[in-house]
Amino acid sequence: LYLCRATTMTADQEHLKCGTYAKDKNGCTIHFVRTIVLKEIILGELNKMVAFVKDNEDEFVQMAMDNSVQKQSSELSKSRKKLKESEKRIAELDRLFTRLYEDNVSGKISDERFSIMSAGYEDEQKKLRATVAELTDFIETAEQKSADVTAFISVVQKYERITELTPEIMHELIEKIVVHAPDKSSGHRTQQMDIYYRFDVAVSTAVADSMKYDKKRKVA
């Protein structure tokens, strides 16, 4: 979306238009959202998030972790142990292969026996290296996700209640905002907005209802 602002526009008329539609008429629909409405939605969702994290930190951590990581996070220590064992066995197989080669050269074992045993060692090493790569990837992903969630929580803890959107707040807490095309099937205009928080820890979905906003504007 890109901002549409002019000296002839009131604060209530200032809005953001779909940039994709402006470039490619088939790429999206022509839709917009009033800046004042978007700010109101964002403020409301941010304060909900701040309150939830402060009151339910443990629950938030569980929700924020990716399902795959969350499911296996209890096995993280087991994975680390298995990784060490696998790396140790790979080193041991290297030593065994060296000894096997020396025994073959000295004539202690036949070429046929050497071929069979070395093939077995190499096959086991290949499987172990695949296991090591998989375990390393899992451990790094789990540790990074945990660090990301902790970082997000530490930022949230700085705020009690957000009353104004600033570039700093937006940068610290929000990754992106997706504004959907409006839906008029109910007889009035509603518009879904998805707020993606930093580090991919959560997504908030809110719906702007034009009937509700217009009523509020008239009262004001």
Tens-digit pLDDT profile for residues 99-150: 999 999 999 999 999 999 999 999 999 999 999 999 999 888 888 888 888 8
Give 42's contacts (C-beta < 8 A, 6+ positions apart). 165, 174, 177, 195
Read off the pLDDT band of 219 (50, 70, 90): very low
Instruction: Give the global pTM.
Output: 0.63
What pLDDT, on the 0 to 100 scale, is given for residue 168? 93
Residues 108 and 141 in one domain: yes
Residue that wins the pLDDT comparison between 93 and 67: 93
Read off the pLDDT band of 11 (50, 70, 90): low
What pLDDT, on the 0 to 100 scale, is given for residue 63? 81
**CA–centroid distance for 80 within its chain:** 23
Q: Which domain holds residue 186?
A: 2-68+167-219
Whether residue 162 lies inside any domain: the answer is no
Last residue of a domain, one of 155, 175, 205: 155
Residues 111 and 131 in one domain: yes
Q: How far apart are CA 46 and CA 198, in angstroms?
A: 12
Residues 11 and 63 in one domain: yes
> Which DSSP category does 31 fall into?
-
Residues 118 and 106 in one domain: yes
Residues 96 and 125 in one domain: yes
Phi first, then psi, for residue 178 (nearest 5°) are: -105, 120
Residue that wins the pLDDT comparison between 86 and 79: 86
Q: How far apart are CA 204 and CA 217, in angstroms?
A: 24
Residues 78 and 97 in one domain: yes
Residues 150 and 82 in one domain: yes
Residues 80 and 64 in one domain: no
CB atoms within 10 A of CB 197: 21
- Tokens representing 197 are 């928080």
pLDDT tens digits, one per residue of 136-176: 998 888 888 888 888 999 999 999 899 999 999 999 999 99
